[in-house]
């Protein structure tokens, strides 16, 4: 692994991986806001703004964690896109409520409300899980990705935190969706019966609904009781409270939008 160092107005930042350096700038918020998006130039995304909410207490650790997160995300994006893209330049936008930590430079034309990646309080719906506000349809870019300080502090439950960002970036920038089913969803169910034909005739196998390029290993669990799943008598499918947890024994290398937490899963479908 190669490491790169660059001093930007008194702040030393470091980035790692695959011969690509990511530059991180610490910026002070200004009142003039115009909507900006990261630009892909010669395989590197530049002008990506990660903004910290004024509701987040001033904390140097948050800044350091964002730097570490985006460095790892750049490395994972480079791998997932087969060397086609990485995060070349990331700007961390500090709120004006932070008074003891000074920025490297002042940035006009950016704000928390127009940033693509936002560090904010937990969501009433998703809690501390990172999520992306989707666009109006498939292939349409989203509005922003939401990340909390608690996720930055401890993301072990999600696997590689850089891969989490890449997973959300795909939704934000390219307008793709998760490639798995949901408990109780009629259109995208958690389970289905896969029909195959053998020498003994038709065989219907209960199958978890994940886009993978390998066999799947895991277990069913009722989300309410934590015990075994219940089955509907009509269609013999698990009910709306049943989820399938895929374990690391699954050797899949694709797809990123299905199970990004798997260690070997580093490719898009």
Q: Which residues are catalytic?
A: 168
User: Which helix (H) or strand (E) is 198 found in, with range?
Assistant: strand 191-198
Q: CA–CA separation, 183 vs 191, rounded Å? A: 8
Question: Quick check: helix, strand or coil at residue 79?
Answer: helix
DSSP 123-151: BTTTBTS-EE---SSTT---S-EEE-HHH
CA atoms within 13 A on the CB side of 227: 3
What is the residue whose two structure tokens read 């932070």? 98
Contact (Cβ atoms closer than 8 angstroms) between residue 168 and residue 155: no
Q: CA–CA separation, 89 vs 49, rounded Å? A: 9
User: Which one, of 93, 161, 172, lies nearest residue 132 by Cα?
Assistant: 172
CB contact set of 224 (below 8 Å; sequence gap of 6+): 241
Q: CA–CA separation, 211 vs 96, rounded Å? A: 44
| 77 backbone dihedrals φ, ψ, rounded to 5° | -65, -40
Contact (Cβ atoms closer than 8 angstroms) between residue 98 and residue 58: yes
Q: CA–CA separation, 147 vs 108, rounded Å? A: 23
């Amino acid at each position: 692994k190669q490491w790169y160092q660059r001093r930007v107005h008194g702040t030393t930042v470091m980035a790692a991986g695959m011969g690509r350096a990511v530059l991180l700038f610490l910026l002070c918020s200004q009142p003039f806001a115009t909507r900006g998006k990261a630009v892909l130039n010669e395989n590197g995304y530049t002008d990506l703004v990660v903004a910290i909410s004024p509701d987040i207490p001033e904390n140097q650790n948050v800044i350091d964690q964002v730097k570490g997160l985006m460095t790892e995300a750049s490395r994972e994006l480079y791998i997932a896109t087969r060397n086609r893209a990485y995060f070349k330049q990331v700007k961390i936008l500090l709120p004006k409520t932070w008074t003891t930590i000074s920025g490297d430079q002042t940035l006009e034309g950016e704000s928390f409300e127009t940033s693509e990646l936002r560090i904010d309080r937990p969501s009433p719906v998703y809690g501390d899980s990172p999520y992306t506000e989707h666009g109006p349809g498939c292939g349409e870019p989203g509005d922003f990705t939401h990340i909390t300080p608690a996720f930055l502090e401890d993301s072990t439950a999600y696997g590689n935190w850089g891969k989490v960002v890449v997973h959300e970036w795909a939704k934000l920038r390219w307008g793709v969706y998760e490639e798995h089913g949901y408990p109780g969803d009629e259109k995208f169910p958690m389970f289905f019966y896969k029909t195959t034909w053998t020498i003994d005739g038709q065989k219907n196998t209960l199958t978890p609904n994940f886009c993978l390029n390998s066999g799947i290993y895991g277990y069913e669990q009722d989300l309410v009781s934590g015990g075994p799943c219940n089955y509907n008598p009509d269609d013999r499918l698990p009910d709306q409270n049943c989820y399938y947890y895929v374990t690391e024994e699954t050797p899949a290398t694709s797809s990123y939008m299905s199970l990004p937490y798997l260690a070997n899963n580093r490719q898009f479908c």
